[in-house]
A and B are shown apart, each in its own frame.
Chain A
Amino acid sequence: GNSVTQMEGPVTLSEEAFLTINCTYTATGYPSLFWYVQYPGEGLQLLLKATKADDKGSNKGFEATYRKETTSFHLEKGSVQVSDSAVYFCALSGGVDSSYKLIFGSGTRLLVRP
């Protein structure tokens, strides 16, 4: 079945550092890929998405490129801020298994220090 593997956290960075959170997936067919963010005490918010190979999703300075050849969707940001401290979830949907069922990675907690 479909699955998502994320790098384990927590990830601790200083403000303005470069961020990479690795995400790889296993899926049959052509899934859509997502990054969701969960700020402390809040629900999930969509950060960015990509629906086909080589698509780049971007939002709020975050980027991720759908790489079918490496089955990856790594999240990057050039300069993190304290306000980016949150838990980040990589997820996929679609493919052969199910069009609307979201499969989540384990989540990566990011802590940005001033």
Chain B
Amino acid sequence: SAVISQKPSRDICQRGTSLTIQCQVDSQVTMMFWYRQQPGQSLTLIATANQGSEATYESGFVIDKFPISRPNLTFSTLTVSNMSPEDSSIYLCSVWGAGAEAFFGQGTRLTVV
């Protein structure tokens, strides 16, 4: 299994500002994934973060809005830029374990006011 720590667990932010979410994994992994869960909705993949290369973004998500860093094999950050109330969501970091199953962090609950 993998243990994933996310920070912050929750935040309330003013519109127009940016928030950086950190994700720390207790083992080295090639790929880290960032998901968004809008209120009452399912999870949608934002991007895949590979160490040493640019993140790969899913349709509807762009680097200017959600820049991602991946400085090493155990850590990644997701920034939500120029926030609006529509960005209020839970953001989750995920990795795959050796047993072919995905593990998730506890999530960052973001409220934009």
List A residues at the B interface (Cβ < 8 Å). Answer: 32, 34, 36, 42-46, 49, 51, 89, 93, 100-102, 104-107
Interface hits, B20-72 → A, CB 8 Å: 31, 33, 35, 41-45, 48
* Interface class of chain A by DSSP: strand
Q: Nearest residue in B to A101 (C-beta to C-beta)?
A: B45
How far is A89 from B100 in the complex, measured between Cα atoms in Å? 17
In contact, B42 and A104 (Cβ under 8 angstroms): yes
In the assembled complex, B78 has its CB within 8 A of some CB on chain A: no
Q: Which 8 A-B pairs have the closest CB atoms?
A: A43-B106, A44-B104, A104-B42, A104-B43, A43-B107, A106-B42, A43-B104, A107-B42
How far is A43 from B105 in the complex, measured between Cα atoms in Å? 6
List B residues at the A interface (Cβ < 8 Å). Answer: 31, 33, 35, 41-45, 48, 92, 94, 96, 100-107
Q: Which residues of B contact A104 (CB under 8 A)?
A: 42-44
Contact of B43 among A45, A46, A49, A89 (CB under 8 A): A89
Chain B nearest Cβ from A41, distance in angstroms: 9
How far is A34 from B43 in the complex, measured between Cα atoms in Å? 14
How far is A9 from B96 in the complex, measured between Cα atoms in Å? 28
Q: Which residues of B contact A102 (CB under 8 A)?
A: 33, 35, 43, 45, 94, 102
How far is A101 from B34 in the complex, measured between Cα atoms in Å? 11
How far is A24 from B11 in the complex, measured between Cα atoms in Å? 36
Chain A nearest Cβ from B103, distance in angstroms: 7
Chain A nearest Cβ from B76, distance in angstroms: 15
Q: Nearest residue in B to A51 (C-beta to C-beta)?
A: B100
In contact, B43 and A100 (Cβ under 8 angstroms): no
How far is A77 from B87 in the complex, measured between Cα atoms in Å? 36
Q: Which residues of A contact B104 (CB under 8 A)?
A: 36, 43-45
Chain A nearest Cβ from B27, distance in angstroms: 16
Q: Which residues of B contact A89 (CB under 8 A)?
A: 42-43
What 4 additional pairs, Cβ within 8 angstroms, besides A100-B33, A102-B94, A104-B43? A89-B42, A93-B102, A102-B33, A104-B44
